[in-house]
Amino acid sequence: MPVYSLQCPDCQHIFKGLVLEGTQEPKEWVCSKCGSYKAQNMKPDEHVEHPLEKAHGSGCPCCG
Ligand SMILES: [Zn+2]
């Protein structure tokens, strides 16, 4: 069952939201700290490319 990472914009509280199997994802998440209904799914972390994972070439530490 999916677990969402949620963040409350009001108090910056980060918490997990669980969606039970067979139920719909709630339209509103309630912050477990301050009770705000504005908590939202956090965007997944953008993948930060490690320099050594890049294709070899210009700027590459081992080719440069
Ligand atoms: Zn909150």
pTM of the model: 0.58
Over residues 27-36, mean pLDDT: 92
Token pair of 44, please?
């997944």
The CATH number given to 1-43 is 2.20.28
Interval 5-27 mean pLDDT? 90
Domain boundaries, the chain: 1-43
What distance in angstroms lies between residue 35's CA and the mean position of ligand 1's atoms?
A: 6
* Dist CA 2 CA 23 (whole Å): 11
pLDDT of residue 2: 79
Neighbours of ion ligand 1 (CB under 5 A): 8, 10-11, 13, 31, 33-34, 36
**Closest-CA residue to 12 (of 39, 37, 35, 46):** 39
Q: How far is the CA of 14 from the centre of ligand 1 (A)?
A: 8
Asked if residue 60 lies in contact with residue 35, where contact means CB atoms within 8 angstroms, the answer is no
Whether 42 has a pLDDT exceeding 90, the answer reads no
pLDDT at residue number 38: 94
